[in-house]
Chain A
Amino acid sequence: MNVQTWTYLIVGITFLIYIGIAIWSRAGSTKEFYVAGGGVSPFANGMATAADWMSAASFISMAGLISFMGYDGGVYLMGWTGGYVLLALLLAPYLRKFGKFTVPDFIGDRYYSQTARTVAIFAALIVSFTYVAGQMRGVGVVFSRFLEVDINTGVIIGMALVFIYAVLGGMKGITYTQVAQYCILIFAFMVPAIFISIQLTGNPIPQLGFGDTLANSDTYLLDKLDQLSVDLGFSTYTEGQKSMIDVFCITAALMLGTAGLPHVIVRFFTVPKVKDARSSAGYALAFIAILYTTAPAISAFARVNLIETVSERRYDAMPEWFNKWETTGLIAFNDKNNDGKIQYVSDVAKNELQIDRDIIVLANPEIANLPNWVIALVAAGALAAALSTAAGLLLVISASVSHDLLKKQLMPNISEKGELIAARAAAACAVVVAGYFGINPPGFVAAVVALAFGLAAASFFPAIILGIFYKRMNKEGAISGMIAGLGSMIFYILRFKFNTFGDTTPEDWWFGISPEGFGTIAMIINVIVSVIVAQFTATPPEEVTDMVEEIRYPKGASKEVVMH
């Protein structure tokens, strides 16, 4: 069978699974809609969290980014996993004990203020929309390449699917589809990695093959790669070229952002006990680590394969995949010196090949000559990754509107049934908006996603941590801190990423810190402003300090009935 038939078959089967689960797990109450009834097992929740977490950026773009960044790619690897340590140790158990539905719920109650709640809703919406935009673009790319439909049609198909299970099933539907999506995406990611690892190094475990010698040779893969990179004028693969301070700040911003992302935090509200919240985080990271330790191996394998396939080879002798990806515009060749050969070098004036980073994962099985079903599997995996994250984000958006905004602020007397209808309507609207972003994408996937982390790090992370560990923190401190953090982050992005206030170059960055890394600084600004303002304003009321005391002890979390 050809790739096209395989793709339709495998993607079709996975879609049927998702729809089947959606029908089986419809939500009947707001509690089921927001937190899946609070009864998900930690193992299933760990898998769902991993799928929720690993987005189109992790699946499609990350290995590609690392492939071109070498050592510097470590910022994503450490940044997007290290945050789970913070989540497990500093947030998840306490938020589970607190026992409400959303992050703005916690901020609103802990800081006894509707203003704080509103700022949190605003932050949740900005973060989620920034992030969901990246996912929809990912869905479009996969559809257009593998099913050879127009990107817009692809986005609409994806949206229709998410619509079915997110709007019907809420968190309950999303959780169980995410469990299925995790299995599909991890299988799809590992199969080509194992094949390629065996081809290149003879070692079936990619994590070890990465540090092994090349097959039939005494040269280590990484040494070979360093050599190839230097020969072509690129920076040494294992050394990278970003400054140490920037690597430090980006890593920290991604970690702090991970621990502050509302769609990840809300997953810890879905398990029965505090103990389960802790073990969910453990399972989640273990499931995530499988992909995250494989990705850098794929990056290195693909880099070697790519350079060896194209460098100084004749253009007319290129394999079939080269031409196929040329037509999608992800590869572009321009024979500057008219010698009919491909010069792929660092020097911009002499380089003849433009390669989109996303191609590394998507075309890797073709570059390595793997069977057609593997190529189809990658398509299904990429779709699973993008759809699962999109659904999780849509739920945060819908809960922010129907629960935090309507129920808690504008219409406190709304009935349970009315709130559920509002939640579904909000999810439906969010799907449409997300679809719009998919059709008119605001930029490339990983870059956009990286900014969402800066925003989350600058707003939620300090407000939640201070709320749990610092009893004296009051509403004035938290609100001014969130506004200062979010404001400085948005300013820095506009100033240096979108050049809103005149053109800039990386030379203008403050202390050499890129917009992606500035979340760390914005987080520090948030903490400093919060603590200083809190010193000069009233202490929080006693019932709030009592609540903070109470969430520190797990006892009673599963007995507390959430009342509305």
Chain B
Amino acid sequence: MIPTSENKETNIARKKYWKTNLKYLGALLSIWFLCSFGAGILFRDTLNEIRIGGFKLGFWFAQQGAIYIFTILIIAYIFLMNKLDKKYDVEDDN
């Protein structure tokens, strides 16, 4: 690649794009961990003291809640990344 100023600009923009992507990943995966391994396993005994209808909360996270949250996380990621692709003009526009 010839180091023209345009390339340099693209490179800086791309670095920013990647950094933002990693930031999103960090945030979404933290939620992913907290609602499955956290709420469903590690803290389930504490959460089980709280009840919603017939569900103990820790049990609910392990058998239902985590799955709903996983789906929402992926939808959020699709939404965030589509916006980011547009912003940095790296989307696949063909």
Report which A residues bind B (CB closer than 8 A): 66, 71, 73-74, 77-78, 81-82, 84-85, 88-90, 93, 207, 210-213, 220-223, 238-239, 244, 247-248, 251-252, 273-275, 278-279, 281-282, 285-286, 289, 292-293, 296, 552-559
Contacts and interface: CB of A to CB of B under 8 A. Distances in A.
B74 A558 contact: no
Nearest to A552: B18
A239 B58 CA distance: 9
B54 A90 contact: no
B75 A282 contact: yes
A274 B21 CA distance: 14
A77 B66 CA distance: 9
A239 to B, nearest CB: 8
Contacts of A293: 64, 67-68
8 contacts: A77-B64, A78-B67, A81-B70, A211-B54, A222-B56, A248-B41, A251-B41, A293-B64
B50 interface: no
Contact of B92 (A221, A252, A275, A282): A275
A89 B85 contact: no
Nearest to A223: B54
A251 B36 contact: yes
A247 B66 CA distance: 15
A555 B74 CA distance: 21
Contacts of A211: 52-55, 60
A274 B94 CA distance: 11
A85 B32 contact: yes
B32 A78 contact: no
B70 A82 contact: yes
B4 interface: no
Contacts of B70: 81-82, 84-85, 285, 289
A270 to B, nearest CB: 15
A251 B33 CA distance: 11
Main SS of chain B's interface residues?
Answer: helix
Nearest to A276: B92
Shortest 10 CB-CB contacts between residues of A and residues of B: A220-B54, A74-B62, A211-B54, A296-B63, A211-B55, A553-B90, A282-B74, A273-B92, A211-B53, A238-B59
A71 B64 CA distance: 11
Interface of B: 14, 17-18, 21, 25, 28-29, 32, 36-37, 40-42, 44, 48, 52-56, 59-60, 62-64, 66-68, 70-71, 73-75, 77-78, 81-82, 85, 89-94
Contact of A559 (B74, B81, B94): B94
A222 B94 CA distance: 52
B37 A274 contact: no
Contacts of B78: 88, 278-279, 282
A293 B69 CA distance: 12
Contacts of A239: 48, 59
Contact of A85 (B29, B37, B60): B29
Contacts of B52: 211
B90 to A, nearest CB: 4
* Majority secondary structure of chain A interface residues (helix, strand, loop or mixed): helix
A285 B66 CA distance: 12
A392 B11 CA distance: 39
B66 A220 contact: no
Contact of A281 (B64, B74, B94): B74
Contacts of A275: 81-82, 85, 91-92
Contacts of A285: 70-71, 74
B60 to A, nearest CB: 7
A89 B59 contact: no
Given A81-B67, A293-B67, A244 B42 contact: yes
A278 B62 contact: no
Contacts of A292: 67
A247 B29 CA distance: 19
Contacts of A274: 92
A289 B93 CA distance: 31
A216 to B, nearest CB: 15
Contacts of A238: 48, 56, 59
A252 to B, nearest CB: 7
Contact of B94 (A66, A213, A248, A558): A558
A227 to B, nearest CB: 13
A315 to B, nearest CB: 33
B41 A555 contact: no
Contacts of A282: 71, 74-75, 77-78
Nearest to A207: B64
A533 to B, nearest CB: 25
A292 B69 CA distance: 13
A135 B36 CA distance: 28
Given A74-B62, A275-B81, 19 more contacts: A71-B62, A74-B41, A77-B64, A81-B66, A85-B28, A89-B29, A90-B25, A210-B54, A222-B54, A222-B56, A273-B92, A278-B81, A281-B74, A289-B67, A293-B64, A296-B64, A552-B18, A553-B17, A556-B94
Given A85-B29, A251-B37, A293-B67, A555 B54 contact: no
Nearest to B24: A89
A73 B67 CA distance: 14
Contacts of B71: 282, 285-286, 289
Contacts of A74: 40-41, 59, 62-63, 66
A77 B67 contact: yes
B92 A557 contact: yes
Contacts of A552: 14, 18, 21
A247 B58 CA distance: 14
Contacts of B18: 552
Contacts of A559: 94
A247 B54 contact: no
Contacts of A281: 74
Contacts of A213: 54
A95 to B, nearest CB: 14
Contacts of B73: 85
Contacts of A90: 25
